[in-house]
Chains A and B, each alone.
Chain A
Amino acid sequence: MALALALHPITNLIFGDKHRLDGNLLTVDVNELRRMVLEDNAFDSVEFEIVRPGESCRAGPIFDIVEPRAKAPGGSPDWPGILGLPHTAGFGTTHVLQGTAITMLREQSPGESRGVTGYVLEMSGEAGSASCYSKLWHLIVIPHTKPTTPRHTRHKAYRMAQLRVAVRLAQIARDVAPADSQILDNFIDAERAALIRVAYVGQIFSRQRKPEPEEQIIYGANTDGMLPTLLHPNEWLDGAITTSYHTSIGGAETYFYQNNPIVAELYRRHQRGELNFVGTVVTIAAADNLDRERNTQFAAHLVKWALRAEAAVLTKFGGGVPHSDLAETARLLERDGIKTAVQVTDLARDHRVESALLFNFPEIDAIVCIGGNGTRWKLPRVERVLAANGGMAEILAGPFEIDSLNVAGVANQQGASRLRSVVY
C-alpha cells in the first residue's frame, strides 16, 4: 500500500476573501470557515486567529493540533470513520500544507492532573523554542459552544470542526503542483530479506478512564472492547487515528499521528536499506489485570507471528498504568527473542532514579526516557493571549510558572520530544 504525500510548504498565512494558495502564501476565507463550523448547532459562535512562528503569543488550553491535509480523489478517504465511511486509510495522494496547523482551544480547563491551564501553546521565549509547535503557522480556532452543551458533545463538536477546517483548507492545494513529494511504501522484496525486521507497537488509549460517548479514536471508534490490532504504517499517518480527549502526560496531538515520528524514522531507515519496517501494532492500556494479560499477550503475539519482527519499539499513551502495560508487552517480546526498546516518561517527581520506573526487568534495558519533571519555566507576559474566555486569558497572560510537561510539543509522548532524562 503506497501513500504519496504532496508537500506544499507554507511560509505565510493571511486572511482574505477567498481561500487561495499562491506558492508559499496561504490565504484563508475566515467567513467561509465560520459558516462551515456553525453548521453544527452546538456552537454559538467561533473565532479564528492567525499566529505566526516565534510570535510573542500564547494560547490555551489546547484541545488538539491537526495538520491541514486533504486526500486527492482516487485514494483513501479523509478521516475515515469521522468525516466519512471507515474505509482503510493510507493510500493514494494526500496534500499537505506543511508548516501550518489548525489548533483548537478548549473552553474549559481539562482538570485531571494537568493543572488549570491544561496544555499551553507557547510560541516564543525559552519554552517556545523547546516546543516543535512554535515553528508553525497556526490557525487558532476559538470555540464558543452553547452553555448547556454536554461535555462529550462539546468535545465532539471541537473535533469535527477542527478536522473539517483542516481538510477544507488543504483541499485548496489539490489543484496546485506540490513543491515536493514523498512516497511511503514498506514493500519488502527478496533482496531485502537479510535486513532486520522491526515493528512499532503504539498505545493510543488507556482504559484507566472510559472513553467519552461518541469519542472517536480509531477509525471513528472509541476503542471500547478493542483488542490490539495491526495497522499499516500509512494508516497512522493518513487519518486512522486521532488523539483521545483525555490528555496524556506531556501531550499527544493528532498532528503527531499524522507526522508520527516513530513511523517516519522507521520509514526513513527502511528507505535507506538499514532495516525492514514490517508494520505496526496499535494497542490500548488495560483497566484490570485480566485485560492487561489479554492485551499484552495479544500484542506480543501479533508482533511475533503476524509481523515476524526481530525487533520492536514501543510507546505508550498516558501515565503509570500504560507504563506497566508497555513494560509487560516488552517483557513478553524479549521472552520470545524479539529485541525491544521502549519510550517512557519520567515518573519521578522527586528526581530520584528509584522513582522513575515502575518495572524492573533486566531484559528491558534499552529505555528512552523523556524527562520533563525537572524543567519548569517562568512564562513572561506576552503580547498576545488567545483563550476562549476572559478568565483563562487573564491566567495565561502571565507571568506564571509552568511545568515543561504542560507546554504542548515539549515532552511529547509520540516520539517528537527532544528532551531526555540524564541519570547522574
Chain B
Amino acid sequence: MRVVHYLNQFFGGLGGEEQAGMLLEIREGAIGPGKRLEQLLGSETQVALTLICGDNYAVEHQDELIASALEKIRAAGADLFIAGPCFLAGRYGVAAGALCKAVQSQLEIPAITAMARENPGADLYRESLYIIDSGESAAKMDEVLARLACFARKVSFNQEIASPAEDGYIPRGLIRDQFVEKTAAERLVDMVIAKAKGQPLESEMVPATFERIPMPPRVKDLKRAKLMLVTDGGLVPKGNPDKIQGAAATRWGSYSIKDCDDLKGEHYEISHGGYDPQFVRQDPDRLVPLDVVRELEKEGMIGKLCDEFISTSGLANPLSNTRRMGREIADKAKRLGIDAIILTST
C-alpha cells in the first residue's frame, strides 16, 4: 500500500515559525514522524511521498496548496493519505483537514488526520472526516502514531469502524443505523432501571448545543417600518410553482401580494405534511395574516408591507436546510430594505 504523508514545516524538520511562509515541498519517502508511522503501518505499506508546507502559506493559499497536493498524490498512485498529527497547532490542523477533505472527495481514497479536539480544524472538519483524537501534547507522538496507523489500516481494509470511544476518533456528530439484539422496549426498561439505580447508561441519542444568536435591537419606529410576512406552514400558490417539498424542504418561495388585501383559498395550496390543512385552505389569512396587516398599513400603524410574502415548509426539516434557507431569506429581506419580519409557524 502506498501512502502520501503531509507535514507542516516544523514536523517536516525544515524550520520553526520563521519558515511558516514556505511553499509546498516534496520529499521522496518518509520524513520525521512519517518514518515511525511507516514502521507502524506494517511491512507491506510504504510512505511513498511526503508533502511539507509552511503553516501560513497553507492557510493563505489553501486552494493552490490543495491543487498542487492533489496532483502530487494522484501522480504518486497513493492508496491512502495521512496528514499530521497536528495536536493543537491550529493552522496545521485546518490545512490538514482541508487537504483530507479534498483528497477524500476528489481522489476517492481514504484520508485521515489526527489533532486535538480543541484544534479549530477539528471543529471544521470532524463531520466530513475521521480525525484521530491526538490530545494536546506532542510528547505523546508515538502513541498517537500507533493509533493513527491502526485506524488507517482499518479504513484501508474496509473494516467496520466502531464508536468514537473505541476507535479513538473525534465524534463526528453523525448518526447511523444499527440492528441490535434487544427490542426498543427492552432497551428502554434497561435504561430506566439503570438510571433509577444511579448506574451508568449509554443514551442512544444526545442533544446538541447551539450557538446563541444575539437578538437584534428593536424597531425604533414601527410607523415607518417596512414589514415582511414569512411562513413555514407551506402555503404556496396553486400548482406549487417552485415545487416546495412538503417535508425536509430545501426550497423557499417568494410570492406577490401586491395590491392584495386578502388571501383567497382558491389561489393557494398547502405543501406541508405535518398538520391538518383544512382551515388554512378555507382561508389562508389564518396562516399568513395579510388582511389584518393591510388594515394596519392603511391605518398607518406600520410604514409599509412588503409586496411579497415568503413561504417554505418547516416539517421534518433538518438544520442543514433551514440554516441555509434562513440566511438566504434574511439576505433577500435586507436587499428589500425590510426592517422587521413576522414569521407564522405551524
Contact = CB atoms under 8 A, between A and B. Distances in A.
Interface of A: 112-113, 130, 196, 198, 208-210, 261-262, 264-266, 269, 274-275, 310-313, 315, 319-321, 339-344, 346-357, 359-362, 365-375, 404, 412, 415-424
Contacts of A367: 203-206
Given A208-B274, A357-B207, A368 B179 contact: no
Residue of A341, A349, A412 ringed by the most chain B CB atoms within 10 A: A341
Contacts of B208: 353-354, 356-357, 360
A279 to B, nearest CB: 15
A414 to B, nearest CB: 8
A420 B273 contact: no
B195 A348 contact: no
Contacts of A424: 161, 163-164, 171-172, 174-176
A97 to B, nearest CB: 22
Contact of A373 (B175, B205, B246): B175
Given A130-B179, A208-B276, A418-B182, A369 B315 contact: no
Contacts of A315: 188
Contacts of B315: 113, 320
Top-8 shortest CB links A-B: A415-B185, A261-B185, A371-B177, A354-B208, A341-B192, A355-B318, A350-B318, A113-B273
A219 to B, nearest CB: 24
Interface residues of B, number: 53
Contacts of B187: 368, 420
B177 A420 contact: yes
A13 B163 CA distance: 45
Interface string B188-223: 110111111100010111111110000000000000
A353 B320 CA distance: 11
A274 B203 contact: no
Contact of A359 (B164, B186, B193, B207): B207
B195 A366 contact: yes
Given A311-B196, A339-B192, A353-B174, A419 B179 contact: yes
21 contacts: A112-B273, A210-B276, A265-B185, A265-B186, A265-B188, A311-B196, A313-B189, A313-B192, A320-B316, A339-B196, A346-B175, A350-B320, A352-B173, A354-B319, A368-B204, A374-B176, A412-B184, A422-B163, A422-B178, A423-B173, A424-B174
Contacts, number: 206
A198 B192 contact: yes
Contacts of B172: 424
B185 A353 contact: no
A412 B183 CA distance: 10
A420 B183 CA distance: 9
A417 B174 contact: no
B177 A422 contact: yes
Nearest to A199: B192
Interface of B: 127, 161, 163-164, 171-189, 191-197, 201, 203-210, 246-248, 273-276, 315-321
B248 to A, nearest CB: 5
Contact of A418 (B164, B181, B207): B181
A366 B191 contact: yes
A262 B190 CA distance: 11
Given A313-B189, A352-B127, A417 B184 contact: yes
A370 B320 CA distance: 21
A418 B188 CA distance: 12
A212 to B, nearest CB: 11
A369 B204 contact: yes
Given A348-B318, A368-B191, A422-B177, 9 more contacts: A209-B275, A275-B193, A352-B173, A360-B207, A367-B206, A368-B204, A419-B179, A419-B180, A422-B163
Contacts of B161: 424
Nearest to B314: A320
A262 B203 contact: no
B313 to A, nearest CB: 11
Contacts of A209: 275-276
A140 to B, nearest CB: 25
Nearest to A114: B273
B178 A419 contact: yes
Given A113-B316, A320-B316, A351 B175 contact: yes
Contact of A261 (B183, B274, B276): B183
A423 B184 contact: no
Contacts of A210: 276
B193 A420 contact: no
B204 to A, nearest CB: 4
